[in-house]
Each structure stands twice: as structure tokens, then as C-alpha cells.
Amino acid sequence: MSNRAWKRVSIAILIAMALIFAPFFVEKVQAAEDDFTIVDGVLTGYVGVGGDVTIPNGVSKIADNVFKNNENITSVTIPSSVKEIGQRAFGECPNLTMVSIEYGLETIRGLAFAGCEKLHTINLPESLTIIEEFAFNGCSSLTSVVIPGSVLEISVLFEGCTAMNDITLTEGSTSIGAYLFDQYEMPNLQRVFLPASIDEIGSHPFGNSPT
């Protein structure tokens, strides 16, 4: 058989394989999309198998309690289209270890990640302006966090974060609330950085600290 004939046969085989396997790839993509319930840009439900979850681009808000108590998700990637994470949206997810947030998020509601005991890594983008109280309560594996200066007022966020070692506030933040750095709640806290822009500090910022 000539080289030209072999090429024709090879092309025919490749086309046949593509036709055979294409439905499987389409089905896989469709299944991933079907994992989410999205209404007018708001993510209201999730029925996927968990693991590494990527929120679909185009979602503008993750509603309250969407992933609460989900034992299967291990990491979450949040695209720039998401502007708000609702109350307890990821609360008490016992195996969630990592959250990656793209620039664009503006608001994290109260208790959004509370009780995620294995969460050790989360980035907070400089687009963020509001973090409500107790957003990270009980994240006992979280060791360090950088709060962007775009968040002007910062209140109690880290109760029960027993592994917390380092908290950095960047230039721009102006006010911190009482007990923000409570060392009774964060007994391993060793370093706190406050920028010059801070002009208001609530009572007992270090709580029951022995120092």
C-alpha cells in the first residue's frame, strides 16, 4: 500500500474514532454543567460529586448555604464574575482545604466559611470591600491570612482559628473591631501587621492575650 493510501486510511480511522467518542466528551461536559443550579446569575444549588469544584463563569452570587455541610468538596475556584458569597455558603465543609478567588469578589457574608476545619489556604482579592463577622470562625487549620486594604472596616473574623499564626492588614484599611486578634481564640498568633492607614481600633483588640 502506498504512503498516500496509508494516510487516507489513518485519516479515516481518526474520523471514525472522533465520531465514536465525541458523545462521551459532550456528555461529560454537560454533566459538569448540570451539577449547578443557577437562577438569574445566582448559584442556588449543587449536586456534583465534589472534589475540586470550579464555579461556572457568569455566576454573580453564591447564595446562602449552597455548599453547607458538603463532605465531598476539597477545593473551590471562584471566578471573577462572582461578586458575593452568601452566609454559610461553604459553612461546615469538613474536607474543604483550599479556596482560590479571582479578582472581582466584593462581599463575603457572615459565617461564609465557618467550621471548615481543614481549610488551610484562601486568598482574598483586592476587589473585596466587605467581610462580615465570623466569616472564618472555626477554620482551625488556617495559619495565615492577608486582608486587602480595600476592606476598610474589619471586625471579628477568626474565632476558633487555633492554628492562626500570621495576620496581615494592607494599606487602606481604616478600622479594626474589638477582639479581632483575640489570642484566647488564636493561641498560636505570633505576628500581626497593621498599616499606617488604621485610625480606629476597637476595645481589647487582642482580647484575653496574656501579653
The model's pLDDT over 162-171, given as tens digits with 9 standing for 90+, comes to 999 999 999 9
Lowest-pLDDT range of 29-43, 114-128, 160-174? 29-43
Q: Tell me if residue 191 falls in helix, strand or coil.
A: strand
- With beta carbons less than 8 A apart as the criterion, state whether 173 and 154 touch: yes
Check pLDDT > 90 for residue 65: yes
Percent of the chain exceeding pLDDT 70 equals: 83
pLDDT at 3: 53
Cell of residue 206, nine digits: 487582642
Give the torsion sign (CA, 121, 104, 84, 154): positive
pTM: 0.82
Percent of the chain exceeding pLDDT 90 equals: 74
∠ CA(66), CA(35), CA(39), 5° rounding? 60
Q: Rounded to 10 degrees, what is the CA torsion of 134, 138, 142, 145?
A: 10
